[in-house]
Amino acid sequence: MSNFLSIAEVAEHFDVSKRTIRYYEEIGLIEPPRENNRRAFSSADMTRLSLIFRGKKYGFQLDEIKDMILLFDQDPSGVKQLERTIGYGKKKMMEVDARIRELENLKAEMNEWLTKFEEEIAKRRGESS
């Protein structure tokens, strides 16, 4: 078992709770073997977890992440996985672009209000602008 990590070591490595790791196992994202009734995480499990956490970082839903990961098991060439990942990625980029536009509009609106408030303060103080 020296080549394998315990759930505590895995949780510490990814800075998450053991419950998070167990949950990913429950929903079928990972399937670590058990040795002496304890999970034994391999380098392949660590790679999968890295992909899961990267997907979460980029805002993918767990079902999307699961879909992308499980495709590799069905097609070891990785072509289907890459095609699906590209599709999800393009959709996510459109969402990010829309959110950026929303935030830019919000920023512009806030700047307009701040300018109005500063002008109002100057007017009330009798300052000229």
Per-residue pLDDT of the chain (129 residues; tens, 9 = 90+): 468 999 999 999 999 999 999 999 999 999 999 988 899 999 999 999 999 999 999 999 999 999 998 888 888 888 988 999 999 999 999 999 999 999 999 999 999 999 999 999 999 999 865
- Check: pTM over 0.85? Answer yes or no: no
65 close to 23: Cβ distance less than 8 angstroms: no
Task: Say how far apart CA 88 and CA 63 lie, in whole Å.
Answer: 11
Write down how long the chain is. 129
